[in-house]
Each structure stands twice: as structure tokens, then as C-alpha cells.
Structure 1
Amino acid sequence: MKRVTLVFLSLLLLFCFTVNVYAAGIYADVPPSHWAYQAVKQLTEAGIITGVSKDTFAGDKPVSRYEMAQMVFNAMTRYDKANADQKLLINALKAEYNDIYSKLLEHDKRISKLEKTQDKVSFSGVFSARYRDVDYLKSGTSSSVTNQIRLRLNGKINVDADSYIGFRFVTKAPNKNNLFNDSWTNVGGDNHMTANGTNNTYDNQIDRYYYTAKAGSNMALSLGEQALIIDPMNIIVDSTFFSYGGGKAKFNLDHLGKDAALTVQYGSFYKGATLTGFTGWGNKSATAFNNVDIASEILNGKINDINYTVGHADFRNNTAGVDLLNYTFANVGFLVAPKVGLSYEYANNSADSQGRFNAAKIVYGDQVLKKKGQWNVSYRYISAQKNAIFNRYAMLEGAAGSNTNDPENVTDAQITYAFSPTTTFFIQRMTVDDTIASNNANDNVIWKAELDVKF
């Protein structure tokens, strides 16, 4: 661009010395005594530059790219009025600009190709590291202290404007040879063997792969291995861990509130799974849970300042014709004040008697951590009857009766701080109380300190 500037300045100088001088005082803010008066006057009369108005030149104002382009254009259009020397300079200017333009055009093509590739495939994920201490209180069992890590990587391949392929890689996926909610890898430990030496490997693997497409303006369809999302608090099923193979249809229902939608899921949760050490649930045998299908209908949205979710989920062994878990549930959440959020969830498992749970949560502080320095404190209380929470699917780590269906009360207190928009740290204390006095050995307290880094 330096050569272009020199050529253009030379061109301007030629015009300065070859254009006739007319009456003085062409701009009110450029007096005849100004050192650049003659140049401004002659370039204006040549039609190459203009002032900001008829009487004002504004000589101290920076020249924009648009104004520079206009000056070059003016010089080009005066080509037929130029002498031989001026035409040589104009031709040099045109050649220089054409050379730069062709290089920029080729550069833009490469950038556009790269941008298209980047837009087609995208990745996101989270890496987590935590310290966990479980005190078994009254059982006489020694505390369990572990340092653990976890990686989850989500991928998305855009097929076209209306469809994409999604997949997920995890460092520890559900293992149907010993199905349990355990997504963490112990640092320096052997995570591939059970106590009796049976190989129950939790492999690093791609555990989700599905295709999603719009079907009209108000519906989307998904097919493949995808997240099993049921209740907002993830108490019925930990959707961050478990998947199902099947189909999902989502219908937008704007007349039922902001972002209102009905989601229907159907597919196979697990086939041929083994729940090691499991003796049964409610009035169902352990083997009945080896084959599980899932069907659910969930409606959610927002009316005024209230977020709501209502739904139904049926876990069933269709091969044996056994209704395993049959939940009806509802969740509401709203802000009491800008820094105070409340939510409440109710669910009932009608496949067994005494299958209800209630959960209430309060969050004080920043409700969503998006900036450095934001923080919040949360407290949650869960009261569950004996057949309410199936611990093999739930996210409640170390909950009482992991191999039973005892009633329990759970409290969960947590403080979270954001080091950056993508990095958060929290300390959590969870207490689990088995409300059957004779089973108080199941009581425990869990302490956790966790760092989560999103990318």
C-alpha cells in the first residue's frame, strides 16, 4: 500500500500544479494564509476532493476509507482530461490497485473456505477435576477419599441449514455390565475392575451419536443415541450421564408461553444390562431391570417470570411386560428478587406404592455465572419415599440405600465462584439420611471441591 500512496500523492501534486487557480476564499475554515491553502483549493476545483459542506473543509478531520475511495474514483473519472504525464500516473495507480485487489480477493476466498469448514464442524466440552470425601458416619466403614477427573467433548457437524449430526466423547461412559451412575475416573486408581476381579471396563468412548433435523417451522426430529432428559433437577435420571437409543420429536408451542415446547421421547434405555449387587426394586425382581425401554412426554415453557415443566416418563420392560418406573412430575422456578431464585419439583412413581419425592432449591447471588467474579450460594432439600428415587439412575452420589429403596432425606449446600466466563469452582456438602432407624448405617456426609473448565 505504500507504493499506492506514493503514486496517488504524485497524482495529486500533478493536479495541483496543472489546475487553474480561481477566486480566493473557497472554504471559510481554510484562510489564504494557511500553508495548505493552494493544495486544498486546486484539488477542490479539480473535483478530486470536497469539503464536509459548501463552506466548510474540516481539514483536521481524519480521511475515511470511503473518502479515500471517492478521491481515487474522482481521479480515475478525470482520465480523459489528464495530460500524458497524469495518465501515466493514473495507469500506475490502477495497476497497483488491481494487483492489491486480486491478492485480497484470493485471500478472502481462502478465508471464506476456512470459515465454511469451521462453521460446518464445531466442538465444545468441559473438563472437571474434583476432590471427594465420603464419611459413612454410623456404619463403621472408613471414609472414602478420592481425587477424580472427567472429560466430556461434544461435537456437531452441520449437514445443512436445517439439520446436523451430534456426537459426544466421554472418559467414562455407562457400562451395562455393571450399570450405575459413575462418570468419574480416579486419578492414579484402577477404574476397570470390581472388587471380585470381574472385568467391568468403563471405556473412553463416543457414547452419543444422533441426527437432528427441522421438520417445518415448529418441529424438530432426532434419531440415534442421545441424552435422556426427564426432570429439570435430574433427580429421576442423570441426563448428563445416561442416554437412550431411539427417537425424539420436539414441537414448539408458542401460545403456551415463551420458548414453550412439547418433547416426546421413545426408545431403548438399556438392553441386557446387569446391575451388580442389585436385589430388586419395589415389587420387581432384579432381572426385570436388565431390559428397559423409555417413553416420555414433557411440556416446558415460561409464563411471565415463571419457568414450568410438567411431564410423564414410563420405564418399562416391554419384553416381560413389566412396568418398572412410572413417573408423573412437575417443576416450577422463578425469581423472588434479582439475586434470589426459588424452584420446586414434585414427582410420583405410580409403579410402586409410596413413590413420591419433593425437592426445593434456593439460589442466592448471580443466578447464571457468565463473568469473572460472579458467585452464588445454593441450598436444596429432597424428601423421598422408599420407592421414589431409583439410585442406579439418579445423580445423588452416595445416597442411602444404593442397592435398596429406603426412604431418605437429602440436603445439599453449595457455594460457587466464577474465575472466568468458562471456569468455575464450587465447594459442596451433601448429607444423606436414611429415615428407617434400623438402617442408619446408610447415612453419610459427602464433601466435594470441584473445578470445571468449559471450552
Structure 2
Amino acid sequence: MKKTLVSALTTALVVGAASTTFAASNPFSDVPADHWAYDAVSQLAADGVIEGYGDSTFKGNRNITRYEMAQMVAKAMAKNTSGADKAMVDKLAAEFAEELNNLGVRVSNLEKHADMVKWTGEARYRYWSYRSHDAANKKTKENINQLQYRIFPTAEVNEHWKVKGRLTGSMNMDKDNEGNMKMTFVYAEGNYGNFNVKAGKMPFYSTNDEGLVMDDFFSGVQATAGKDLKVVLEAGRWNINDDANASVVAGAVQDTASYQGVQLNYEKGKLAGGVGYRHFSSDVFKTADRYKNHGDSDKANIWSVGGKYSFSKNVALMGSYAQNASADNYRKSGSVELDYKGASKANKGTWGAFAAYRHLGSNVSLMPTYDTAHANTGTVNAGTLNVKGWDFGVSYVPLKNTLTTVEYFNGKKFDNHNRKAETLYARVSYFF
């Protein structure tokens, strides 16, 4: 179909010919300022309706294809014209309906596939300094400096299902090593209204007790049903020796535990709370520190309860308690925490603080969420659990998507010696 500059200018005029003021600079070397179509062509280019060629020419006398004309019509349609201009656009749209349809399909498919996979990430530096006393009452100190790079891909399968994962690279700055990169988790997640199901290796968090018992990952299946009141069923395998505390893993024969659990969680308005039961089976517990006074057991049966009340948008009080019915020692844990405000990584200048009292038994808090309680870095300090004391922390966002945190724990080990234990923790995270 033969369409010259006049045809292109028809579209230009339809677009509002571009607007009532022609002040756009000349983008094309072959359309001089004294050309009769200069104003229209310049404004059309400024509005994004035409792009010209890579050599900065318009080539107004060249024949254009129906596809090229359809592109201009599509961009004109996007301008939301009215009156006579709209009538002209509608006429052109009818003429190029087939090309517009094909163009729309291609564009829609491109946008759809571009949105199928989304990537987010975090680069962070973390520091721990553990201070305690040994059996001879000699003060000991262990420092850990860690860099991490975490990538979170999310792939959309269809309207109900997604696949989520995390790649984690870690290195120890003290040793200046090259670190390692591993797939921390990957799982499929399906959402059907008030029903959610996950399958694969996924985050393992004891929501009902706010992470007093568990904050790690496990391989298996999780199903959640309900709205305000939710029932959570979980079953699978948990690799205790991957990250857990030293008092549990020492001398383990079989470190992967079979796991089954159930939670009942409620959240509405200012009140939230829940109860949970978790059953683990592994030879690890036969060698755990003072797990049984007589004989041994490869079972852990852990009950926990927690609650939270928000007095306002800035102040909240939470408490949790857990007990391992199969252990004789270090079998109880508890936490009471007061939160003030909260740091939002997307909002520069926001901050938050907390003060808490914690009592952490290693045979029940298998992998607690508290940063001052364990390192979760591949190196383990045997004194970071079986402690009780005060925990304080402050977080601040100095720049958008930049989070800084400082925490300090001061307490005592509740073993036979009742020795002092301190932990200093700091973190800087960059989110993208």
C-alpha cells in the first residue's frame, strides 16, 4: 500500500497534531525548518508517534508498509482523542484492524512474558560479637564478619500458581575467602482464595510463637486454610545439621529429621495469636546436650503459644512460650517483647526499636529467629543458646531501600555455672 508523508501527517493531525503549541526541536535532518510539514513532524516525534530511522532521518517520501502505518495509528489511539479527531482515528483503526490486532497480540504476549519472572535482591553485611565465660571463668570472645548476596526470583506459572526461590552467596570477611553460592530454597505456591499450598523447600517459621521455636527452611508440603483464623499443616524433612545450634547437633548420627506440625493462628484488628505443635524424629536428639536424664530419645514434641496486642500503630506488646515434652533439660523457652514504631526499608528516615526479655532453651528453641541468639552463618558458638537475659535493638533507614540495625543481648547462661553471656549484632542491608 502506497503511503507517503501526507499519510503520516494525517495521523499527525489526528493526534491532536500534535497539540496546539509546536515547540518541539527538530529531530530529523531531512525535514528542514522551512518545510511545510516541519511543525507536525517535529511534534509527532516528540509525542512518540513516529521514531524515524537510526541515521536521524524521517524519509518522508518513502513508501511505508501497512504495519508501520498501524503502529502510528495504535499510538494515535493511545492519545485518547475526541470529536472529529476521534472519528478519524476510528476510521483508520477499522482500515488497519488486522494489523492492529496482530500488533496487539505481539505486544501483549511480550509484556506478559516480561512479567512472568520478577527478581528482587538484597546485599548485606552482618557482624556478631559473642562474649562469654568458660568453665574456668575465663572470658572468651568470637567475632563473625559476613557478607551475603541474596537473589529472589518469582516466576508466574498461571493465575493461581507461582514458583519462588532464593540464591544465596556468603563469604567470611575475616578469612577473605571467595565464599559460596547455593540455592537456599525453591518451591511452588498455589493460591485459591483462603487456601494456600506450598511444595518444595520453603521457609520454616513458627508463626504462632513469633519465631521462638523456628526460623529456617524445610523440604516438604505446607497447606494453609482460613481468613482471620488460619489452620496450617506441615510435613517433610528438616536438616538440623545445616544451621542448628551446637548443643543439638554434637555427635549426631542422622542429622535430617522427619517433621510434622500444625498451627492455629488468629489475627484481626489489634489482636494476634496462635498455638502450635511440632513433632521431630532424628538420632540428633539422642546426643543433644542433657536431652534426657536417663536413656535417650530420638523424638522432640514441641508445644508453643504466642500472642500480640497492638496498642496503637506505634506500640505493640508480644509474648510467647514453648516447651519440648520429650526433653528433660533446656526444654523451656519464653520471650516478652515491646516494639516501638518500625523501620520501613522503602521510606527514608523511618526507624523502630524493641526491648525484650528472653529465656532460650536449646532443646526447644531449635532455630529461633533472634539475631543475637545464633549466627546462622555456618560457624556456631555453643554459648548462644541456653541463655536468659535482656535483648535490645534499633533499626533505621538512612536512605531508601537501605536498612541499618544494631542489637545487644546481655544475660547469663542457665547452666550449672550461671556465667555471663553477651552478644553484639549489627547489620547493613541494601535492597533492590
TM-score of the superposition, structure 2-length normalised?
Answer: 0.67
Contact kept, 8 Å, 2:222 with 2:235, in 1: the verdict is yes
Of residues 293, 313, 336, the one that matches 1:360 is 336
Alignment counterpart, residue 326 of structure 1, candidates 297, 301, 305: 301
Does residue 1:425 correspond to 2:404, yes or no? yes
Aligned to 1:245: 219
**DSSP-derived class of the 1:433 partner:** strand
- What CA distance in whole angstroms lies between the structure 2 residues aligned with 1:447 and 1:348? 27
Shift of residue 251, structure 1, vs aligned partner: 1.5
Percent of paired sites with the same residue: 15
> Corresponding residue for 1:210?
187
Equivalent residues in 2 for 1:105-124, closer than 5 Å: 108-124=104-120
C-alpha separation in 2, matches of 1:391 and 1:73:
65
**Aligned partners of 1:110 and 1:74: how far apart in 2?**
26
After alignment, is 366-375 or 1-10 more displaced?
Answer: 1-10
Residues 406 and 435 in structure 1, CA contact (< 8 A), matched pair in contact too:
no
CA contact (8 A) 1:223 1:247 kept: yes
Q: Residues 142 and 190 of structure 1: is their aligned pair in 2 closer, same or farther, counting only changes over 3 Å?
A: farther
What's the counterpart of residue 413 of structure 2? 434
Aligned equivalents of 2:143, 2:246: Cα separation in 1: 24
Q: C-alpha distance in 2, partners of 1:167/1:107?
A: 34
Partner of 1:310: 275
- The separation in 2 between residues aligned to 1:398 and 1:439, in whole angstroms, is 22
The whole-number CA distance in structure 1 between the counterparts of 2:142 and 2:283 is 39
Q: Give distance in 1, aligned partners of 2:263 and 2:14.
A: 70
Amino acid at match of 1:340: V
1:230 equivalent in structure 2? 206
Distance change >3 Å, CA 405–CA 130, structure 1 → 2:
closer
Other structure's SS at 1:72 match:
helix
Q: Go from structure 1 to structure 2 and tell me whether the alpha carbon gap of 1:426 and 1:111 turns closer, same or farther (over 3 Å shift).
A: farther
User: What are structure 1's unaligned runs of at least 5 residues?
Assistant: 11-63, 78-93, 173-184, 193-201
- 1:221 equivalent in alignment to 2:202: no
2:234 maps to amino acid: Q
Equivalence for 1:19? none
Deviation string 1:202-234 (CA, Å, 9 cap, x unpaired) is 8411131222234x5443332222222224532
SS in 1 for 2:311: strand
Is this contact kept in 2: 1:299–1:311, CA < 8 A?
yes
Change (3 A) 1:304 1:323: farther
CA drift at 1:390: 3.8
For residues 278 and 76 of structure 1, the distance between their equivalents in structure 2, rounded to whole angstroms, comes to 73
**Kept after mapping to 2: 8 A contact 1:210/1:224:** yes
Partner of 2:417, secondary structure, is helix
| In the alignment, structure 1 residue 163 sits paired with structure 2 residue 142 | no
* d(CA) in 2 for partners of 1:76, 1:408: 75
Closer/same/farther in 2, CA of residues 279 and 264 from structure 1, 3 Å limit: closer
The two structures have a TM-score, normalised by structure 1, of 0.64
Q: Aligned in 2, Cα 1:280/1:335: closer, same or farther, shift over 3 Å?
A: closer
| Aligned-partner residue type, residue 297 of structure 1 | V
Q: How many residues align?
A: 347
Judge conservation of contact 1:369–1:375 (CA < 8 Å) in 2: no
Structure 1 residues 267-289: Cα deviation after superposition (integer angstroms, max 9, x where no partner): 11138x589995768xxx84365
Q: 1:297 to 1:206 in 2, by over 3 A?
A: same
Amino acid across the alignment from 1:454: F
Any idea what the Cα deviations from partners look like across 1:282-315, whole Å, max 9, x if unmatched? xxx8436524111110121213310112111111
Mapping 1:26-425, distance limit 5 Å: 66=80, 68-72=81-85, 108-136=104-132, 140=138, 143-172=141-170, 185-187=171-173, 189=175, 203-214=180-191, 217-231=193-207, 232-239=209-216, 243-252=217-226, 254=227, 258=228, 260-270=229-239, 273=241, 286-287=251-252, 290-317=255-282, 322-354=297-329, 355-366=331-342, 370-385=346-361, 387-390=363-366, 396-397=373-374, 402-403=381-382, 407-425=386-404
Cα distance per residue 1:394-440 (max 9 Å; x no partner)? 851269x9547974213221111123452211121122411336252
Task: Confirm or deny: 8 A CA contact 2:93 2:100 kept in the other structure.
Answer: no
Cα distance in 2 for partners of 1:304, 1:250 equals 20
- 1:359 counterpart SS class: strand
Return the alpha-carbon distance in structure 2 between the equivalents of residues 387 and 434 of structure 1.
14
Give, in angstroms, the shift of residue 248 of structure 1. Answer: 1.6
Change (3 A) 1:428 1:5: same
Q: Report if aligned partners of 1:298, 1:309 keep a CA contact under 8 Å in 2.
A: yes
Deviation, 1:364, is: 1.3
Give the corresponding residue for 1:33.
none
| Aligned alpha-carbon RMSD (Å) | 4.1
CA distance in 2, matches of 1:424, 1:278: 30
Q: Which residue of 1 aligns with 2:58?
A: none
Please state how far the C-alpha of 1:105 moved relative to its aligned partner: 6.5
CA contact (8 A) 1:333 1:344 kept: yes
CA contact (8 A) 2:219 2:236 kept: yes
Cα contact 2:344–2:397 (8 A) shared by 1? no
Query: Take 1:326 and 1:293, find their aligned partners in 2: how far apart are those partners?
Result: 12
**C-alpha distance in structure 2 between counterparts of 1:404 and 1:205, whole Å:** 28
Would the alpha carbon gap of residues 433 and 318 (structure 1) be closer, same or farther in structure 2, given more than 3 Å must change? Answer: closer
Q: 1:167 to 1:122 in 2, by over 3 A?
A: same
SS in 2 for 1:136: strand
| Aligned partner of residue 157 in structure 2, secondary structure | strand
Residues 65, 432 of structure 1: alpha-carbon distance in 2 compared, 3 angstrom cutoff: same
